[in-house]
Amino acid sequence: MKKKTNNVTDKKFIWILFAICVGTLFILAISIMIKNSISAPKQKRESTIQIEDVDESSPSENISPKKQFALGSKLMRSSSSEEKIRGMQIVMTANPKDGANLLIPCLMDPVPAVRTQAATLLSTYEIPNLGSQIVMLLEDPDKAVRLAASSAMLKYASEPGIMYRFMRPMSSRDPEVVKLTIPVWKVALQYDPRNAIGTIAPALSSSDESVLSTALGALTQSYPRTRDLVPYKTLLEGITARMGSSPSGQMAQSLLQRINAE
């Protein structure tokens, strides 16, 4: 009987030890969770302080690329267009790949100078597959933005499917927009000749002398072989009928003579 009582006591003792161990582990886990929850905001605050501690007046080349990027990102959130442009330049210098993602929204910024700088920077660093974003600026109401976009698009003319994107600016009622699009079309022609005629057709159907002269000049330079001009014969005949003896009419007639003599 005494032996049985001892066995019961031993079991109770084991259960008490087990309960103490479980309780200790539970308290330890709670302590770790509390410690982590306290340290996380602290780390976040320290990270924020590091960004804010960067002296905006100091030359960005004196700080690490990571801090440069943080500084540039902060400046880009400024309401000042000058500060925003400076920030754009800094982030693209520090990290062009990640900086490009920040600059894409700047292509639609209400300030023309910001849009111009965004297009220029995105072309300078040649970030892949951004042509479809920049091509929209060919129709921008600001001349400086249009010029920057046209220059930038020369580097994105090889982008797959970009030829189709020229249809809209080629059909613009603004002759300046069309004339800025034609040089980009010439470059894209090397990569997508099949869709070239459909893209430039609106320009060749124009009655604006300056547009026609630019488009016909592009044809002459782009197709040294006469047989490559044959698909354009109908469009050229339309120009001679509309424009008569005008400079563009004479240019079209000259190209037709080449085709007919072939």
pLDDT by residue (tens digit) across 214-224? 999 999 999 99
Does any domain span residue 59? no
Residue 2 domain flag: no
Q: Which residue has the higher pLDDT, 38 or 24?
A: 24
> Among the listed ranges 124-128, 177-181, 186-190, 246-250, which one has the minimum average pLDDT value?
124-128
Domain final residue pick, 139, 156, 173: 156
**190 and 170 both lie in a single domain:** yes
- Whichever domain contains 90, its CATH number is 1.25.10
Q: Based on the structure, what is the number of domains in the chain?
A: 2
Do 174 and 111 share a domain, yes or no? no
Q: Is the domain of 247 the same as that of 174?
A: yes
Q: Are both 176 and 259 inside the same structural domain? A: yes
Which single residue is written with the structure tokens 């780390």?
Answer: 43
Q: What pLDDT, in 10s, does the model give residues 156-182?
A: 999 999 999 999 999 999 999 999 999
Last residue within a domain, chosen from 156, 187, 219: 156
Of 28-37, 115-124, 201-210, 228-237, least confident by mean pLDDT is 28-37
Give the separation between CA 209 and CA 113, rounded to whole angstroms: 31
Under DSSP, is residue 186 helix (H, G, I), strand (E, B) or coil?
A: helix
- Are residues 174 and 257 located together in one domain of the fold? yes
18: in domain: no
Regarding whether 259 and 175 lie in a shared domain, the answer is yes
Q: Which residue segment(s) compose the domain that 227 sits in?
A: 165-262
Q: Please identify, among 112, 132, 156, the residue that sits at the C-terminal boundary of a domain.
A: 156
**Is the predicted pLDDT of residue 58 greater than 80, yes or no?**
no
CA 203 to chain centre: 27
Burial class (CB in 10 A: 0-12, 13-18, 19+), 52: exposed
To the question of pTM greater than 0.75 for the whole model, the response is no
Radius of gyration (Cα) for the chain, nearest Å? 34
* Number of other residues whose CB lies within 10 A of the CB of residue 60: 22
Residue 259 forms part of a structural domain: yes
Check whether residue 174 and residue 133 sit in a common domain.
Answer: no
Which tokens in the block code for residue 259? 């085709």
Do residues 120 and 143 both lie within one domain? yes
Residues 74, 87 contacting (CB under 8 angstroms)? yes
Task: Determine the Cα–Cα distance for residues 27 and 16; give it in Å rounded to an integer.
Answer: 16
CA 60, 64, 69 angle in degrees (round to 5)? 65
Nearest CA to 87 among 60, 111, 108, 105?
60
Rounded-to-integer distance, Cα 216 and Cα 214, Å: 6
Tell me the C-alpha distance between 58 and 44, whole Å.
24
Task: Report how far residue 169's alpha carbon sits from residue 104's, in angstroms, rounded to the nearest whole number.
Answer: 20
Contact 237, 256 (CB under 8 A): yes
